[in-house]
Structure 1
């Protein structure tokens, strides 16, 4: 009897936790956001957006969605309760990805068309500063200690290092071809870079800003040229890196300590970006050519559900 009660309580707690989370998927070709209940996998709303929406995140206070409307050259500020546009924030030309600052007061935006990083002051809703970077910037991240903002340059095959204390670019790290996404580990000691055309994920020692290891991928039955790493997310415990492999139509689960792949998970076509549940049990993968979102159980390394989205899902974020 007691075992049954404990099992019931566990199921109830899991359901309550999952039910509290909501997924938001940016649909690049559909010019929309798909809103999904994480517990039921039901689509609860579809919100129209500006043109070619890509990067997406939630404000620190949970009130707003920030969305890079690339074709409109703006970051859209959207009310999370209603889906209504609150403001078009000045972002520079063709915003791709962005990073919400650690304190939640700024957005650091990569502007592909004018090769710049734009910092938006969210309280003033104006540009704080802009810095020239390498050609075709896309991936952006801020270090956990707040010191660095890094920006990938797809054209120049480098990562730019910007010192926030001086608001200047002070260094660059050469990478494999077309770096598209960057993620710091939680301790701030490493930076992981997805080099799409290079087919690799490169790991940088932050102190020296040098590459210390290059990860390659080999999915059985999938040609090497289809390995196009893009999105990277770490589980909350920092033990697993979840990596989208693009046209390989798989997600790799990598053990961070040993830097080895523990599993490849088949998902939809042209998997782009990812989000991970707050409890670290589930990953969500946006499949750009399948118009779906894959729900991945990380313990079993299996897809447990597939959810229809709008056309061309690109980014996904999750909020309680």
Structure 2
């Protein structure tokens, strides 16, 4: 480039290239902004619009920093030691990415690639393993987070295997199949060997531990699930507001009743197991149901909700109101909204203690 052209405002080619490289390097850096070390407890909120995990003070709700997430962040799960957060990116069953965030530093690590399993969504961390649904592959799976390797997969054969609960002992797992209107119940137990056509078992044939899969039909679009603290009942809700109660020992629906909520989306047991909260992503109404009598004891307006996270430590719940752009904070004793945290299209909410 001639000096005359440079003098007319055109930047030398080497400088333009340098700027481009610098811009690319800056874009690859985590977007963490932190003025002080992270506190021992964090409130974590996913912003789907910003593709970011917000790290907030759990008392003041002040934003302490953010970490970048993938193209379609939905659910979040924290490791038991409170040091790592995992965020699923389902992409309507097409993506194969789970984000990994170091909560001690606030830095994003290399994401976990779940391929060939597609559409990771629901998450659970049990027995040193990260369990997840893969709605595009009609299955649930489990991976070793240290080795970053999948070590177990079990198919559901159902459409849109979405949300997940795993029992604390890791011997039972339950998943909602919203596309098929069913719940998958997996139980690991002793199975007798199959009798061959000869009618005589081979020498040495013995019962073995295996996973037994039971499909419980519910209703169209049943998606939100939760399990009672005693692990005896699973509740799920359909968009028309119908609640289904499944006895987990009997493996069948034992009660069905109307919540009265149009667009019912998620539900959650309170920590004491006495109530179940049901939220609507369509009307913004929240119904509080007595877990024993199945009667609605209170209804009130909050926001159009896509998720609930109970916080037994501070006797409150966080309700992520995705379409309305805030997380509602509700007192468990008074059943009143006490605060709103502004977040661009919030989804998964979690608490981390390390």
- TM-score computed with the length of structure 1 as normaliser: 0.84
Q: Say which of 191, 209, 220 aligns to 1:177.
A: 220
Of residues 39-48 and 58-67 in structure 1, the stretch that sits farther from structure 2 once superposed is: 39-48
Residue deviations 1:103-141, cap 9 Å, x none?
Answer: 2x1122111112121211223211011122111110111
Shift of 1:250: 1.9
Question: In the alignment, which residue of structure 2 is the partner of 1:159?
Answer: 183
Change (3 A) 1:159 1:180: same
Q: Is the 8 A contact 1:160 1:169 kept in 2?
A: no
Q: Say which of 119, 123, 128 aligns to 1:98.
A: 123
Q: Measure, in 2, the Cα distance between the counterparts of 1:319 and 1:239.
A: 25
Whether 2:57 is the aligned partner of 1:45: answer no
Q: Measure, in 2, the Cα distance between the counterparts of 1:145 and 1:182.
A: 19
Whether 2:235 is the aligned partner of 1:202: answer no
Shift of 1:280: 5.7
Question: In the alignment, which residue of structure 2 is the partner of 1:187?
Answer: 230
Listed as ranges, the gaps of 5+ residues in structure 1 are 1-18, 219-223
Residue deviations 1:10-63, cap 9 Å, x none?
Answer: xxxxxxxxx964221112233111222221122222222111101102100110
Q: Measure, in 2, the Cα distance between the counterparts of 1:240 and 1:280.
A: 17
Q: Measure, in 1, the Cα distance between the counterparts of 2:341 and 2:241.
A: 28
Q: How many pairs align?
A: 290
Shift of 1:145: 4.6
Q: Is the 8 A contact 1:27 1:52 kept in 2?
A: no
Question: In the alignment, which residue of structure 2 is the partner of 1:229?
Answer: 264
Listed as ranges, the gaps of 5+ residues in structure 2 are 1-38, 190-208
Change (3 A) 1:145 1:230: farther
Q: Say which of 158, 165, 174 aligns to 1:150.
A: 174
Q: Measure, in 1, the Cα distance between the counterparts of 2:108 and 2:314.
A: 31
- TM-score computed with the length of structure 2 as normaliser: 0.76
Q: Measure, in 2, the Cα distance between the counterparts of 1:141 and 1:192.
A: 11
Shift of 1:169: 4.6
Whether 2:44 is the aligned partner of 1:24: answer yes
Q: Measure, in 1, the Cα distance between the counterparts of 2:69 and 2:243.
A: 32
Q: Measure, in 2, the Cα distance between the counterparts of 1:308 and 1:264.
A: 23
Helix, strand or coil: the match of 2:159?
Answer: coil
Q: Measure, in 2, the Cα distance between the counterparts of 1:266 and 1:258.
A: 23
Helix, strand or coil: the match of 1:82?
Answer: coil
The ranges of structure 1 where at least 4 consecutive aligned residues each deviate by more than 4 angstroms after the TM superposition are: none
Q: Is the 8 A contact 1:162 1:171 kept in 2?
A: yes
